[in-house]
Structure formats: C-alpha cells, structure tokens
Structure 1
Amino acid sequence: MTRKDWTYTFILFVIAFVSRIIPHYPNFTAIGAVAIAGGMAYRNWIPALLATVASMFVSDLLVNNLFYAEFYGSFVWFTPGAVLIYSSFILSVFIPRLLKNGNSTFKWLVSSIASTVLFFLITNFGVWYQTSLYPQTISGLLACYVAAIPFAINQLLGTLFYGALILLAFSYVDKRLVQTV
C-alpha cells in the first residue's frame, strides 16, 4: 500500500470509529460510507475491508463492553447478529465496483442506496429468523421490515452525510499530498 492508501485507510477508520462512539441517532454512522468510499478509492479491496472491519470491531468492543456492559453481563467479542452486520458492510465494499458506468457522484448515490437496502434486508431477516420478536411467518417478516424502516432512513442519511465528510477529507489529503511531494 502507498502512503496515500494508508492515509485514506486511517481517515476512514477514524471517521467510522468516532461516528459509532459519539451519541447518534440509531444507525446514523459512517460505516456504510466507509465501505463505499473504500470500495471506490482503492484499486485493491483489502484496505477498504481493513478500514470497515477494523473500525467496526474496535468500536464494537468499546461500545459493547463499556457503554452496554450491564446489558451483556460479561466481556463480549461479538454480539448476536454480528456476522450478518459485518457481512452486510463487507459486501457493501464491492457495490461501487459493480457499477461500471457513471460518474463518481452517481456511483456514490447508487452505492449508498444499495448498501442501505442490502443491510436492511440482511440484518432484519436475521432479526426475524434468529429471535422471537416476530412470529416466524410472512406477516412477521413484513412486520419486522416495517418496524426497521426508520433505522434504514437514518442509515441512508448517515451514509450520505459521512460520505460528504469523507469526500472532503480525501480532497484535502489529495491537495496536501500534492503540496508535500
């Protein structure tokens, strides 16, 4: 990886980590934006996965074992459903790579929407399937999806907001690296 790649990876990690530990609306974080930005910024997908997964893992350790310690009762490496959550964001890294045509703004918007929908479908199916919160019927699945719509809206807004922040940070880094090289 180049110096620029490491700088981008660090920026993505910090933005995602901070967005998850500061008070925020449910699902209004930078994780989706980090996955998409990484998928767009790097030729190799490894740094994008590193930034996405590392920021989630480190912030999960902090959030689950400090802020929600009384909820879990003991140290937690991964919460129930973590596989689905992490998988959704890992898949989101590849979404912008599937879009062959269009400018970067178009790719960003389509990828943000697709990432949110992917996360919504996968994780809420998991909630329906793995818990007793909803009956194991089509009606129960639909009720689970309907109840999750406000969270999906927050996630899309968070992805778009933090995406703009990331694009500004990348622009700043590009200008600074050009000046220092």
Structure 2
Amino acid sequence: MSAYLALIVAVLSRILPSAFHSTGIGFTAVGGGLLFFGARRSRWQAIPAVIAMMATDYYLTTFVYNYPFQMREYAVTWIWYAAICLFGHQFLAGKPSAWRVAGAVLVSSTSFFLLSNLMVWATGTMYPHTAAGLGACYVAGIPFYANDAMSTALTAGAFFGLPALARHIACSVQEAHSQRVA
C-alpha cells in the first residue's frame, strides 16, 4: 500500500504546482517515488506506475501547457520511468541500506539529467547539433539536475527512511516494555 502512496505523491508533485498556478521550485517526487515503488512491488507492477506517469505527462501537456501531445516526444522518458522502477526493484528490494538508497538516488537523478538533456539537444532546435551545442545543453540543465537530485534524495529518504524509523521506534518501545515487565 505504501508503494501506491509514493506513486500518488509522485503524480501530485507534478500536478499540484500547476493547479495552484505556481511554477514551483523544481521539486518532484518522481525519482524517489519510482525507486520506492519498484523496491516494494513486483517487476510487473511497474506497468501501472508507468501508466500513471504517462497519464500525468498527457494531462500536463494537453490541459496545463496547452501543447499538442506527441507520443514520440515522451517515449524515452517513459522508458526511463520503467527503468527506474525496475532498478528500484533490483537494487533496493528487501532491506535497503542508506548507502544503497543514496546510490539509487544518484543513478536516478544522473540518468534522467543525461538522458533528458541528450534528447532536448538531439530532437530540438534550441541548441546547435554540435559538441558545443550538446555541452551548452548540459550546462543549461545543471540547475534542473540540482533540483531533481535534491528532491529525489528528500523523497527517497522519506519513503525509505520513515518506515525504518517507525520500526526502530516500535522495537525500542517494545524492548523497554519487556524490560519493565521482566
């Protein structure tokens, strides 16, 4: 159940800023939410997570930004959604450590930065299709990368850390209670 809650938070983190006519601060729970969802659900359940993110892309593009929706422009992003879910399943299922979560956050944010900027450069007209243009595209994306890395770290830390903290507190309370009884 908590995996689906993380998915809902990821979707809402993209929709709510536009609902309140706010540009936001570039916060999104997508990376952390997909890593957590993948770690807690089976590989096949990545499908509903990707569909939820696809629907969010469609909604934002057509209804919020008023652009025509063209699936080919999102194909790489949708593959990334699935890859991050599957990566979360492979790398973080079971009992993830803080180091593994930190590594997954780094992989998630960095892969999205590299892939999304490459696609902006390769398919767009904003940057010349030269090595210098590619470099300029990556440099322009650095502030977005920083925001994504911070929000992914924050959300993944909360999604993975809060249940671990709750278990730790419950064990401490139980241990203290059994020492009083004994």
User: Which band: TM-score by shorter chain?
Assistant: 0.7 to 0.9
Counterpart of 1:127 in structure 2: which amino acid? V
For residues 89 and 22 of structure 1, the distance between their equivalents in structure 2, rounded to whole angstroms, comes to 20
Counterpart of 1:56 in structure 2: which amino acid? M
Counterpart of 1:60 in structure 2: which amino acid? D
Shift of 1:25: 2.2
Counterpart of 1:119 in structure 2: which amino acid? F
The runs of 5 or more residues in structure 1 that have no matched partner are 1-6, 175-181
Identity of aligned residues (%): 26
**Deviates most, 130-139 or 90-99:** 90-99
Q: Work out the number of aligned pairs and report it.
A: 160
1:15 to 2:12 alignment: no
| Cα displacement string for residues 100-124 of structure 1 (whole angstroms, at most 9, x for unaligned residues) | 9x95211111000111111111111
- Rg comparison, structure with higher value: 2
Which residue is 2:178 aligned to?
A: none
Query: What SS is found at the alignment partner of 1:10?
Result: helix
The runs of 5 or more residues in structure 2 that have no matched partner are 18-23, 168-182
CA shift in 2, pair 1:168/1:110, >3 Å: closer
Which residue is 1:109 aligned to?
A: 102
Shift of 1:59: 1.9
Using the size of structure 1 for normalisation, the TM-score is 0.75
Which residue is 1:3 aligned to?
A: none
Find 1:56's aligned residue among 53, 69, 72.
53
For residues 135 and 82 of structure 2, the distance between their equivalents in structure 1, rounded to whole angstroms, comes to 25
For residues 91 and 109 of structure 1, the distance between their equivalents in structure 2, rounded to whole angstroms, comes to 17
For residues 56 and 12 of structure 2, the distance between their equivalents in structure 1, rounded to whole angstroms, comes to 8
For residues 152 and 88 of structure 1, the distance between their equivalents in structure 2, rounded to whole angstroms, comes to 15
After superposition, residues 1-181 of structure 1 pair within 5 angstroms as: 7-23=1-17, 24-26=24-26, 28-42=27-41, 44-51=42-49, 53-69=50-66, 72=67, 74=68, 76=69, 78=71, 81-96=73-88, 97-98=90-91, 103-167=96-160
> Does the aligned pair in 2 maintain the 1:38–1:93 contact within 8 Å?
yes
Shift of 1:99: 7.2
For residues 11 and 124 of structure 2, the distance between their equivalents in structure 1, rounded to whole angstroms, comes to 28
**Deviates most, 58-67 or 142-151:** 58-67
> Does the aligned pair in 2 maintain the 1:9–1:47 contact within 8 Å?
no
Using the size of structure 2 for normalisation, the TM-score is 0.75
Shift of 1:49: 4.2
> Does the aligned pair in 2 maintain the 1:17–1:58 contact within 8 Å?
no
> Does the aligned pair in 1 maintain the 2:32–2:153 contact within 8 Å?
yes
Query: What SS is found at the alignment partner of 1:22?
Result: helix
Shift of 1:55: 2.8
C-alpha RMSD over aligned residues = 2.8
